[in-house]
Amino acid sequence: MPDITESARETVQDVLSRVENVNLSTGAPSKPLLGLPVRRVIPQDVHSLIDYAGGAAGLLAASLANTTRGRLANSSLSAASTGVAVLTDYKLSLAKVIPIEVHEAIDYVWGLSNVMAPFALGYYRKDKMVSWVQIALGMGTIAASLFTDYRAFSGSRQDGQSRRSSSKSRGKKKKR
């Protein structure tokens, strides 16, 4: 039994060391959110996959809804989430229109909208399962956004610099 425990420990340490060496996003690390001591551990690239999965889950919830309000709320919020993801300045988008800082703010609003919609639109009692899926989606999005490291996507610029780092350095002289 001690051999299995030691072997498992070595395997876990090996995986963790490999994960630490992977550098998916580039640019300056995200600043703490509202001064909270939250460690940003989800790479932006993984967050983009979460965005598309959330949009798909919202569409699934819309198709399972028993009420018109539940269907409309889930399909509308799902379309909004997917639309923002498609237009955000990160690797898995079609057009780099929405800055990542704006995307982060939209994620919080979208998450809160999903949590509140079943109650505000009055379909929670008639569509409990869909409501719980929607509430979980909203809370999951808020949690994922809190822990996402929104580093700028360097591929969106030809010179390889991130927008955040180049915009800060433009027009400013270094202090000595």
Asked if 66 contacts 127 with a C-beta cutoff of 8 angstroms, the reply is: yes
Report domain extents, the chain.
38-149
The CA-atom distances, in angstroms, between 16 and each of 32, 79, 149 are: 24, 36, 18
Taking the C-alpha atoms of residue 13 and residue 24, their distance in angstroms, rounded to an integer, is 20
80's enclosing H/E stretch is helix 68-87
Q: pLDDT by residue for the chain (176 residues), tens digit each?
A: 456 677 777 877 776 676 565 555 555 556 666 666 667 788 888 899 999 999 999 999 999 999 999 999 999 999 999 999 999 988 888 999 999 889 999 999 999 999 999 999 999 999 999 999 999 999 999 999 988 887 655 444 433 344 444 344 444 444 44
Taking the C-alpha atoms of residue 31 and residue 13, their distance in angstroms, rounded to an integer, is 28
Instruction: Give strand pairing partners of 170.
Output: none
User: Exposed, middle or buried, 127 (CB in 10 Å: 0-12/13-18/19+)?
Assistant: buried
For the full predicted model, state whether its pTM sits above 0.75.
no
Comparing C-alpha atoms, which of 23, 42, 22 is closest to residue 142? 42
Asked if 73 contacts 59 with a C-beta cutoff of 8 angstroms, the reply is: no
Asked if 151 contacts 24 with a C-beta cutoff of 8 angstroms, the reply is: no
176's enclosing H/E stretch is none
